[in-house]
Amino acid sequence: MNLTPHDAWLALAAAYADRLGAARAAAASGCPVIGVVGHTVPVELVVAAGAMPVQVTGREGPTPLADEWLETFYDPDVRAICEQALRGELAFLRALVIPRSTEPHHKLYLSLHELVRLGRAPQMPTLLLYDLPHTQGEAQRRYGLARTQALAEALARLTGQPLGEARLQAAIRSVNAVRRAQQGLQHMRQALPCEWRGEMAQVLNGAARFMAPQRYAELLPAALRLYPGHRPPAGPRLLVKGVPLDHAALHRAVDAAGAVIVAEDDPWGTRSAGSLVAEDGDALHALAQHYQTEVPCPRLHPRPAREAWFLRALDEISIDAVLFHLPAPDDVHGWDFPSHRAELERRGLPFLVLRTAQPDARQLRDFVQSLALRTP
């Protein structure tokens, strides 16, 4: 396909905005679609099973059906996903795979399962729990491999497509092509000067979650040829850490304030590319190992393993400051903030803590101006 950079960009932006659109079209054409929650489910297994993976995310808006059943302490994204399921908006999915990588996601699985048992969710897709541990150790490794095998078998039963080694290896290569394309984007963002506005980079990264891997791997390299028309202003370079950003509002606000986000310590941004899954050797072993140890997860343990990327980024990526994105009701990521603050103070790097879901334009502008006044 001979794509112009502008056409590729429009297709990626459309997928990012209408997150289930491509999946619904695939299902309507007869392709089985498997939804996944979060970033720790091996989408390679879905691809190997002959299905299209799509990430199911929360969205803004009222959640009256979910509110009837969920306690008030449930996270907004969990409540929003439950609302979509109860409205029948996920009925086109062959299955919904939910990992146990965070407590909110585990609660989502248990709540949806109970609603099915009570007969309150007749349009719910088949629910699958992926119980992959993220503590490092031999026992956890064996258990994670067993759960990965079980998920592969469950997907094979749903689609009627046995997941042999050849299909698994082909799926790994297909998803690795996505990672390679995203690595190219990260290289351009972290160049001196940065070559992409933060908002556009966030959209380009995130679109991978909502379209078939092969399609994304074709579109992103074409869209990257839009440079240099979208170079950001030569303002301060920021790294974001904290609650994962499944939207581009903060990037847009930072762009408007005259700075640029060049990296994110979360799976929606820079770390969406990550490392490649090994393409030789046993495929299931490679997938279990990758998703257990390489994908960002608050349950990754011990702590040095969880913090390794951030500390390495401070050494290897040229940044002027860090934004900590910790809006309420976060009760996970903020626990690591004191040690991160101490590390930045030791290095003499400024930082700003953002405690609201919607970025404060004046707060960001004042912070960016204070960075511009610093002596190099």
- Return d(Cα 315, Cα 310) in angstroms, integer: 9
Burial class (CB in 10 A: 0-12, 13-18, 19+), 232: buried
- Return d(Cα 177, Cα 183) in angstroms, integer: 10
Centre a 10 Å sphere on the Cβ of residue 54 and count the other Cβ atoms it contains.
Answer: 27
Closest-CA residue to 338 (of 327, 354, 353, 328) = 353
Question: Cα torsion at 214, 217, 220, 222 (round to 10°)?
Answer: -90
The amino acid at 172: I
Centre a 10 Å sphere on the Cβ of residue 68 and count the other Cβ atoms it contains.
Answer: 9
- Return d(Cα 161, Cα 168) in angstroms, integer: 11
**What is the sign of the dihedral through the CA atoms of 61, 69, 43 and 30?**
negative
pLDDT at 2: 75
Centre a 10 Å sphere on the Cβ of residue 280 and count the other Cβ atoms it contains.
Answer: 8
Question: Cα torsion at 33, 79, 300, 98 (round to 10°)?
Answer: -30
Model pTM?
A: 0.95
- C-alpha to C-alpha distances, 264 to 136, 176, 311, 314, 317, nearest whole angstrom: 24, 20, 13, 11, 11
- Return d(Cα 252, Cα 261) in angstroms, integer: 10
List the pLDDT tens digit at each of the 376 positions of the chain.
578 999 999 999 999 999 999 999 999 999 999 999 999 999 999 999 999 999 999 988 999 999 999 998 888 999 999 999 999 999 999 999 999 999 999 999 999 999 999 999 999 999 999 999 999 999 999 999 999 999 999 999 999 999 999 999 999 999 999 999 999 999 999 999 999 999 999 999 999 999 999 999 999 999 999 877 777 878 999 999 999 999 999 999 999 999 999 999 999 999 999 899 999 999 999 999 999 999 999 899 998 999 999 999 999 999 999 999 999 888 889 999 999 999 999 999 999 999 998 899 999 999 999 998 875 5
- Return d(Cα 148, Cα 85) in angstroms, integer: 25
321: left (phi over 0), alpha (psi -120 to 50) or beta: beta
Closest-CA residue to 183 (of 110, 248, 271, 288) = 271
49: left (phi over 0), alpha (psi -120 to 50) or beta: alpha
Q: What angle do CA 181, 221, 270 make, to 5 degrees?
A: 40
- Return d(Cα 181, Cα 217) in angstroms, integer: 6
**Residue 240 contacts residue 325 (beta carbons within 8 Å):** yes
Centre a 10 Å sphere on the Cβ of residue 129 and count the other Cβ atoms it contains.
Answer: 18
Farthest CA pair distance, the chain? 64
Burial class (CB in 10 A: 0-12, 13-18, 19+), 128: buried
Residue recorded with tokens 């990526």: 317
pLDDT at 376: 56
